[in-house]
Amino acid sequence: MIWSVIQNPRLGCNSFLVGDEVSGQGAVVDPLGQVGIEAYILEAHSLGMQIVEVLETHVHADHVSLAKDLARELSVPYRISRHAPVSMTEAHRLAEGMRLEYGALAMDVWETPGHTPDSLALVIRDLARGEAPWAVLTGDSLFVGDVGRPDLVDADEAAIKQATINQYHSIRRLMELPDWTELWPAHYGSSPCGGIFMNRRPQSTIGYERQFNPFIKLTDEEAFVKETLRFLKPPPQDAKEIRATNLSA
């Protein structure tokens, strides 16, 4: 399979090129505005990968997304959750249960609301080797050592609480994946999308997080909500404007 991670260490962002070696087809996931279109095209070229679509795990509020621009530049589909209120009319929608296939590489779409109502996890399987999941791109639901914050969409207390409950159930669902599944979130380090426990490592495994992530140890919904809200950092100042930019066409 084809696999490459492009990062912005200053903002603690991961983005991905994932594809199938035999067909040469693949997708870019969560491309970063600060990195620029050329970097993704050059990386795809060096990997021998044709970018056939551009995906987003959710509407980001911490950095300007490159996804729509990259999709337009390449004349390929831009795909995001059916729940994302983006105004781009030609956006292709992703929904629970869909399987995206690039040759022998499959990405299963799981709806994992909490951080945002439109948050998705993409479960990656290399069908040339087996049906079992190999990695999961969790967006901002599950991080290394932490979980995504639930308060960047709504300021309303009741809505934030409901989003935290949703996050709890999304995290429990991610725990259904096997221990060996590599965990690749959209953020790491001091990114404003996570909390104070988020690790500087950009990657982990489901098994390691099952053992050592303090929020996964909270198997009671009420305790999870209480602890998540107790450790919330102040929201980033420019989150509203960045989110508005990413929602625009």
Distance CA 149, CA 96 (A): 22
- CB nearer to Fe ion: give 12 or 19: 12
The interface mask with Fe ion, positions 147-186, x = CB under 5 A, is ----------------------------------------
Cβ 169 to Fe ion shortest distance, Å = 18
Rule CB under 5 A: say whether 239 interacts with Fe ion. Answer: no
According to CB under 5 A, which residues from 114 to 153 bind Fe ion? 140
Cβ 75 to Fe ion shortest distance, Å = 27
Distance CA 49, CA 26 (A): 6
Binding residue count for Fe ion, defined by CB under 5 A = 3
The interface mask with Fe ion, positions 48-87, x = CB under 5 A, is ------------x---------------------------
- CB nearer to Fe ion: give 79 or 243: 243
Cβ 156 to Fe ion shortest distance, Å = 18
Q: Which two tokens stand for residue 232?
A: 């919330």
- CB nearer to Fe ion: give 118 or 140: 140
Rule CB under 5 A: say whether 91 interacts with Fe ion. Answer: no
Q: Phi first, then psi: what are they for 206, rounded to 5°?
A: -60, -40
Give the residue, chosen from 27, 28, 107, 193, that forms a contact with Fe ion under the rule CB under 5 A: 193
- CB nearer to Fe ion: give 58 or 79: 58
Going by their DSSP bridges, the two strands 182-185 and 204-205 should be labelled as antiparallel
Q: Where are the alpha helices (DSSP H) in the chain?
A: 37-47, 67-74, 157-174, 206-212, 221-230, 239-247
CA pseudo-torsion sign 69, 72, 76, 81:
positive
Contact residues: Fe ion, CB under 5 A: 60, 140, 193
